[in-house]
Amino acid sequence: MNSQFPSHQPSNRQVWTTVDLSFGEHQVRGWKLGNGPKLLVCFHGYLQTGRTFRHLFPHAVKDLTILAVDLPLFGGTDWPADHPTLHESYLLDLWKKIRGTFPAPDPIILGFSMGGRVALCLQQALHDPIRNAILVAPDGIKSNFFHRWVMHNPLGNVVVKWFCDHPAIILGMVDTAYRFRLIDKFLHRFLRGNFEHAHQRELLLGTLAVYSGPALSLRKLAKHTEGKVNWTIIWGRFDQSLSFRLADRFARLFTDTDVYILPAKHLVMEEKPGAVFEIISRKIGIQFDPKDR
């Protein structure tokens, strides 16, 4: 699992371009790279956009079209104020729009962190799940008490809102935890980033409201996808946001799963882009000219 991987140095110099994926009343932006016969659809993490995947794919890859979607509330994708939460119907309509725009056979999905949970929810909603799914440090594998309380309990929402109204308290707690080395630099920066400024706190509250919608049951999903989906999980061993041990938990439920643990933290695609790229290329069967290496 931890073998050496060559550097990621594709030679095709095409650039990312924007794509309109709007449907109904929803304005959705996508980012496209390449024009190959294989389609890879990417979902980003919290506080990111589809452009995040430029770290992994700085240039076009032979035989591959890459589509990275701005998820609701992020980048160029809006969310109507009168829609309280995101439901499976949104994901199904979005996927229908993607498939209508890019009708390549056997598409692959890639989800990072929050986008990993979105990918899992999409798989659960589809009658015929996507055959190849790649999850990078995905959220959604373990729904602990705190997560359920914050996302689905009205009192939990009130508490988070109170902290957003009194940010100095939680910022002090975060700084203390970092001072005593209870959290690392990345998690400290991430938590401060959520509460330090008013617009960040507003985005946090909006994200908690919108993404509390899709109910995910891993046991039901495992039964739904059994024998139909090849899963790949990539995780950073030093991830303090989501423990890499959750990968083993997932693999016990989903038997057709390959697990790769890399020496990285949560942002594994940025820290180890070459290794992640090599894993993905092997999984989806992309062939490269030796001179591209």
| pLDDT exceeds cutoff 80 at 260 | yes
Asked if residue 239 is part of any domain, the answer here is yes
What's the average model confidence in pLDDT over 112-120? 95
Asked if residue 125 is part of any domain, the answer here is yes
Q: What is the CATH number of the domain that holds 256?
A: 3.40.50.1820
**Residue 117 pLDDT:** 94
Asked if residue 4 is part of any domain, the answer here is no
Last residue of one domain, picked from the residues 183, 213, 243: 213
**Residue 5 pLDDT:** 41
Last residue of one domain, picked from the residues 152, 185, 213: 213
Q: Taking the CB of residue 13, how many other CB atoms lie within 10 A of it?
A: 8
| pLDDT exceeds cutoff 50 at 200 | yes
Asked if residue 111 is part of any domain, the answer here is yes
**Shared domain check, 148 and 119:** no
Q: Which domain holds residue 70?
A: 17-143+216-292
**Residue 166 pLDDT:** 92
**Shared domain check, 197 and 59:** no
Highest mean pLDDT among 14-28, 150-164, 279-293: 14-28
Q: Residue 85's pLDDT band (boundaries 50, 70, 90)?
A: confident
Rounded CA-CA distance 16/50 in Å is 10
**Shared domain check, 122 and 231:** yes
Q: What phi and psi, each to the nearest 5 degrees, are found at residue 61?
A: -115, 135
Residue type at position 155: L
**Shared domain check, 123 and 51:** yes
**Residue 64 pLDDT:** 94
**Shared domain check, 129 and 250:** yes
**Residue 290 pLDDT:** 38
**Shared domain check, 94 and 139:** yes
Q: Kindly state the percentage of the chain with pLDDT values over 70.
A: 89
**Residue 232 pLDDT:** 97
Asked if residue 11 is part of any domain, the answer here is no
Asked if residue 175 is part of any domain, the answer here is yes
pLDDT in tens, 42-81: 999 999 999 999 989 998 888 999 999 999 999 999 888 7
Considering its fold, how many domains does the chain have in total? 2
Mean pLDDT is lowest, of 94-98, 200-204, 258-262, for: 200-204
**Shared domain check, 284 and 241:** yes
Last residue of one domain, picked from the residues 213, 231, 264: 213
**Residue 191 pLDDT:** 83
**Shared domain check, 268 and 205:** no
**Shared domain check, 223 and 99:** yes
**Shared domain check, 171 and 101:** no
| pLDDT exceeds cutoff 50 at 261 | yes
**Shared domain check, 114 and 22:** yes
Residues with Cβ within 8 Å of 78's Cβ and at least 6 positions away in sequence, in order, are 26, 27, 72
* Neighbouring-strand partners of residue 100: none
Asked if residue 1 is part of any domain, the answer here is no
**Residue 4 pLDDT:** 41
Asked if residue 262 is part of any domain, the answer here is yes
Rounded CA-CA distance 18/233 in Å is 28
**Shared domain check, 277 and 183:** no
Instruction: State the helix-helix crossing angle for 114-125 and 218-225, rounded to 10 degrees.
Output: 60
pLDDT in tens, 136-161: 999 988 755 556 666 666 777 788 88
